[in-house]
Amino acid sequence: MTTTTAEKVVNGVDAGRLFQTITAIEQDPAIAKFNFRLSNFWVHGAHNRAVVADFDGARTTHRRDKTYFVYDKDEHPALLGEDRGANPVEYLLAGLAGCVTTTLVYHAAARGITLTRVDAELDGDIDLRGLLGMSEEVRPGYQSIRMMLHVEGDASREELADLVRLAERRSPVADAVMHGTPLQLDLADEGT
């Protein structure tokens, strides 16, 4: 991230604190290590619920004392669900949109660029034959994802396009989607 001193709030981001964080990480890289987690519980049919209560970062555990975040996931009736929430692949799109947007906003704030609009439209293609095990040639996940960002602010079109490319490269969720992240999936011991 390009660092310049700033003592103001840009795009809702405290730029001074942002640069203090960068300086602290430069002095102690262990501060940058975070571990995010959630618990997921099957409810019925395709309906399941995830609960986010805490995470580790900056050498401490951060607990959400006032409220947990709860995410209900289900499938549309066309996919044999009861539509009690967005489905997991829609949550993936939402996570991608949110992460790319936040990354773009933070980097714009660091550059002193005031944004007036950041909207995203996403869509992706899935072939159910992969999920259902009907074809080994068809992957079960997204074959492709498209994301269109509408960005406006006090910067040139070239500067905004540079921010979009930067957000694509620096977003943790975009990185996981584009480059894959190793997944370790195990069956828990009975009774745990």
pLDDT for 191 beyond 90: no
Angle of CA points 148, 154, 156, to nearest 5°: 65
Going by C-alpha positions, the residue among 80, 1, 24, 23 that lies closest to residue 47 is 80
Q: For residues 81 and 74, what is the distance between their CA atoms, to the nearest angstrom?
A: 6
pTM for this model (two decimals): 0.90
What value does the mean pLDDT take over residues 77-93?
A: 96
Q: Where do the domains of the chain lie, and which CATH numbers do they carry?
A: 29-85 (no CATH), 87-180 (3.30.300.20)
| pLDDT tens digits along 35-84 | 999 999 999 999 999 999 999 999 999 998 788 899 999 999 999 999 99
Closest CA relative to residue 168, chosen from 120, 133, 115: 120
3-state helix, strand, coil in the chain (%, to 5): 35, 30, 35
At residue 13, does pLDDT exceed 70?
A: yes
Structural contact between residues 49 and 73, judged by C-beta atoms closer than 8 angstroms: yes
Q: Where are the beta strands (DSSP E) in the chain?
A: 9-10, 13-14, 34-36, 39-44, 47-52, 54-57, 60-63, 69-73, 115-125, 144-153
Q: Given its phi and psi angles, is residue 50 left (phi above 0), alpha (psi -120 to 50 degrees) or beta?
A: beta
132 CB-near residues (< 8 Å, 6+ apart): none
From residue 65, give the alpha-carbon distance in Å to each of 13, 62, 142: 23, 9, 36
Q: What is the mean pLDDT of the chain?
A: 94
Task: Report the helix count and the strand count for the chain, using DSSP H and E.
Answer: 5, 10
Over the stretch 130-172, which tens digit does the pLDDT of each residue have? 999 999 999 999 999 999 999 999 999 999 999 999 999 999 9
